[in-house]
Amino acid sequence: MSQSSNVALKTTPLDALHRELGAKMVPFAGYDMPVQYPAGIVKEHLHTRAKASVFDVSHMGQVRLRGGAADTALERLVPGDLQALAPSRMRYTMFTNDGAGILDDLMVTRVEDGLYVVVNAACKDADIALMRAELPGDVAVDHLEDRGLLALQGPAAVEVMARLAGDDIRNMPFMSAAEIAVGGFSCFITRSGYTGEDGFEISVAAAEAEVLARLLFEQPEVEPAGLGARDSLRLEAGLCLYGHDINTDTTPIEAGLGWTISKRRREGGGYPGDAVIRRQLAEGVTRKRVGIRPDGRVVAREHTPIVDAGGATIGEVTSGGFGPSAGGPIGMGYVETGAAQIGMAVSLLVRGASRPAQIAAMPFVPHGYHKGK
């Protein structure tokens, strides 16, 4: 995780609660955020996999696009098929530039009066400026600065939500949304998350966020978790972190995100970088994002060179760490296409020493997403 300067840090609606719970606070994306609580990152990670944890993700940007044909308009900025979105369903996509580089990745949900969009904290000012500049005047871009966002993640998340919001929530499909009362608070929720587990993201009025969080923590299955566990969980799940695994120097095809681009959008284009993506789909790419399993216990961090059997550099690690559920060090990065073969032996140059590793399939831990309708 990259950390921002300690100048004029913003805080989330849960700032006082984090400190009350003994969180270690760090600067992240311009905010003072909890990296871990007294239990520690590994215990928070394992608790999320076993039961359920609450992550404060209020630093993310929440935006409503209202009026006009918001789906058609936003499609001019992203390769995702938004016109095909059914009511209350959501989709993962990216803002791209003219070279098909990724400006940010985002989640888009169709709501009654337009679209609900969640963007990354570090990119949200630029993303909102982009939408306000590029979307037509009849599409209003409303930055929801008065909302908190809580992520309840883990296999017990649905039991907790059923207790607080009613049994109907059990039938809520993965990647869908609903306006619903949670513990008596009016919320907009999605069945989604960034951990590889079942879970919900809960948008609530900022003034009510702390009270709702306290209610969640009163549930026997639920513990707090910070940025550290969020990072190790998403890495085990094989999910990209913007600014590390994807950025303006990577394209969706190189990143293995071609599945987010429908046949209609591949053929019809109409978004920045469409010609580059069409060419890469037809001709292939020179490098690909892959999973990496170091042998032994040595962790290979971001920017670690990846070399082949002859010692030639063939790529670089973009994310690396210890996977508590995977039982050892894991990572992801980019390698030359010819080396992107599962099981291929490579070496990692960690602090000047060559360490054996192999190209691995992702996710490192099977996804636990809700498989219902």
pLDDT at residue number 5? 45
* CA–CA distance, 139 with 117 (Å, rounded to integer): 13
Mean pLDDT of 183-204: 98
Domain boundaries, the chain: 15-56+146-236, 62-143, 258-360
Q: Is the pLDDT of residue 69 over 50?
A: yes
Chain centroid to Cα 327, Å, comes to 22
- Both structure tokens of 85: 């979105």
Q: In this structure, are residues 202 and 187 in contact, taking their beta carbons and an 8 Å threshold? A: yes
pLDDT per residue over 116-129, tens digit each? 999 999 999 999 99
Kindly report the number of other CB atoms within 10 A of residue 159's CB atom: 17
Mean pLDDT, to the nearest integer, of 240-260? 98
What confidence category does residue 2 fall into, taking pLDDT thresholds of 50, 70 and 90?
Answer: very low
Residues written for the chain = 373
Instruction: Looking at the chain, list the stretches that DSSP marks H as alpha helix, in order from N- to C-terminal side.
Output: 15-20, 41-50, 70-74, 124-134, 157-165, 206-217, 227-236, 263-268, 274-283
Amino acid found at 283: E
Residue 4 confidence class, pLDDT cut points 50, 70, 90: very low
List, for residues 83-119, the tens digit of each pLDDT value.
Answer: 999 999 999 999 999 999 999 999 999 999 999 999 9
Give me 167's structure tokens. Answer: 């049994």
- What CATH superfamily classification does 62-143 receive? Aminomethyltransferase beta-barrel domains (3.30.70.1400)
Q: What kind and span of H or E run contains 331?
A: strand 328-336
Asked if residue 305 has pLDDT above 50, the reply is yes
pTM for this prediction? 0.96
Check residue 340 and report its DSSP letter: -
Residue 328 has pLDDT above 60, yes or no: yes
Specify the fold of 15-56+146-236: Gyrase A; domain 2 (3.30.1360)
Question: Tens of pLDDT along 170-179?
Answer: 999 999 999 9
Give the model's pLDDT for residue 1.
45
Q: What is the pLDDT of residue 373?
A: 59
What CATH code would you report for 258-360? 2.40.30.110
Q: How far apart are CA 108 and CA 83, in angstroms?
A: 11
What's the CA gap between 47 and 44, in Å, rounded?
5
Q: Rounded CA gap, 95 and 80, in Å?
A: 9
